[in-house]
Amino acid sequence: MGPSGLAELLQWGGVRERWTPARARVLVVAALDAFPGQASSRATLDTEIEDVIAGAARLAGGEAGESVLAVRDPEVEGIRTRFERRAEAGLSILAVPDLHPLGSPEVLAGWLASCPRFDGARPADFRIVGVDTAAAVGAALRGRPRLDRWVTVAGRVRSPGTYQVPLGTTASTLRALSGGGGGASAVSYGVTRGRLRRIPLSRGLDLSDGLVLFLAPDHPLAANDALAPTAAVRRLAAGCSRCGVCDALCPSYAAGMRVRELVDTIRYDLGGPGDPGGLGTCIGCRLCETACPAFLPVGRIASEIAERLRGGDVAVGRAAGPRLVPREALRGRLGLGPDPDARRDARHRVRRVRLSLACRTGPAAVPCRRPGERVWRGEPVALTPDGAARVLAPISGTVRGVDGCVTISRGRP
C-alpha cells in the first residue's frame, strides 16, 4: 500500500500537479473524449474502473458535497450497469451531450452550472479533474503508481486505434506503432485541456495527452502552424472574406468574442489598449480555423493573443453560455475517417521514452539519475526541488540522457 495523504499520493503516483484545498460543491471526473475519433477516456474506464472510483473518492476527500463521473451521452448505458452495483462509492454518472468543446474544463464548468440538477450552482462550484488523474490516484492507493496510459492515434496512419503505452512514449514511436503513413506533423489534443496544439515528434506523452493526430505536412493546420508569426498575420489579413463561418461556430461568441473584429483590427491597424474582439474569452479550441473555408490561421492567432492577454494586465472577459456544436463538425475538416475502435496493448513494443521535467505549477523536476545508470520500472528518476512531485521510470532500462528531459531505453548500458 502506498502513502495515504493526498499530496503524498499525487507525488508517489507520478501526478505532477499540486492539489490545493478548495471548497467545491461538486467533484467532476471528466471522462470526455472530446474529439472525433478519440477513445482513450473510455478505454481507461473499461480497464481501470476500480482505480477511477477509488481515486475519485480520495480526491473528493470530504471537500465536495457530491462526486460525478461525466461521460458522453451515447456511452452512458454502456457503463451504467457497471456502476449501479458500486453505488456505495458515492460516484454517480452524469450524461453530457456529445458536443464540442465540452472537453474544455472552463466550458464544462459553465455548462454544469446551467444544469437543473445543480440548481443555483456557479462555475466555481465545480472541481474538474481528468479520468486519468483519478485513475492515477486510485492506482497509487493500491500501491502501484500509474506508469502507462491509453492514447488514441488517428489521422494519416495505417492502423488507427487506441494504444496502451508507457508514459513518455514519443509521438514518433506512436507513428511507428500505428504503421506509419506519411504523417510528418503531429497535433496532440489533450482530454482535459480542450485545446488543439502542435507538438514535435520527439515529445513524450504525459497523463493529459489523450489523442495524437498525424497530419500530412501540406495539411492546412500543419502549414499554418509552420508559418512565422508575421507571415500568419499577413495571410489572415489578406485572405479573409468576412464570410462569418468562424463566428457562426465559435463557442465563445455568446460571451462576446468576435473573430471578424480581430481580422478588422489586424487589417486596418485598429490596434490599441484593451481586448480586441473579446479574445479574452477564447478557449483555444481552433474550431474557427477548422471551419474556415480558406483554412486561414485565425485560430492560431486568436489563441496566441488570448494567452498573452491573460498573462498581462489587460481586463478580459470570461466564457459564459458558450455555443456548442456537434463534434462531427470537425471530422471532415481534419480529414479523419471512422472512429478507430481497435485497442492494442503496445507497452512491450516501446523501446525508448522521453520524460519531461516540467511541472504544471512550480519549478521543474531535477534528475536524480546519471546517464548510464540502470533503472527499474517505478523508480524515481527526477524530483522537484521541494519534493512535491517526482518523475517515475515507466520502463526498466538505462538512462541515456538528462538534458531537458530524462531519456530511458530498454537494455543494459
Query: Which range, of 99-103, 197-201, 232-236, 296-300, averages the lowest pLDDT?
Result: 99-103
**CA 108-84-134 angle, 5° bins:** 45
pLDDT for 315: 41
pLDDT digits (tens, 9 = 90+) for 315-360: 434 444 455 666 666 666 666 666 666 899 999 999 999 998 887 6
pLDDT for 2: 46
Q: How distant, in Å, are the alpha carbons of 112, 172, 380 from that of 412?
A: 51, 23, 18
Query: Which range, of 30-39, 137-146, 187-196, averages the lowest pLDDT?
Result: 187-196
pLDDT digits (tens, 9 = 90+) for 112-131: 888 888 888 888 888 888 88
Pairwise CA distance, residues 327 & 162, whole Å: 18
Strand ranges, E, within 125-160: 126-130, 148-155
pLDDT for 381: 93
pLDDT for 317: 41
Residue 88: HSE in the Cβ half-sphere, 13 Å Cα cutoff: 2
Task: Assign 79 to helix, strand or coil.
Answer: helix
CB 34 within 8 A of CB 132: no
Higher-pLDDT residue of 101, 319: 101
pLDDT for 217: 75
Domains 148-222+336-345 and 351-409 belong to one CATH topology: no
Domain 148-222+336-345: which CATH class?
alpha beta
**Is 13 exposed, middle or buried, given 0-12, 13-18 or 19+ CB atoms closer than 10 A?**
buried
351-409: CATH topology is OB fold (Dihydrolipoamide Acetyltransferase, E2P) (2.40.50)
The pLDDT > 90 percentage for the chain reads 15
Query: Which whole number is the average pLDDT over 155-166?
Result: 89
Closest among 200, 204, 228 to 151, alpha carbons compared: 204
Higher-pLDDT residue of 215, 37: 215
pLDDT for 339: 63
Residue boundaries of the structural domains of the chain: 6-141, 148-222+336-345, 227-319, 351-409
Type and span of the H or E element at 385: none
Which cell is 19 given? 492539489
CB 340 within 8 A of CB 153: yes
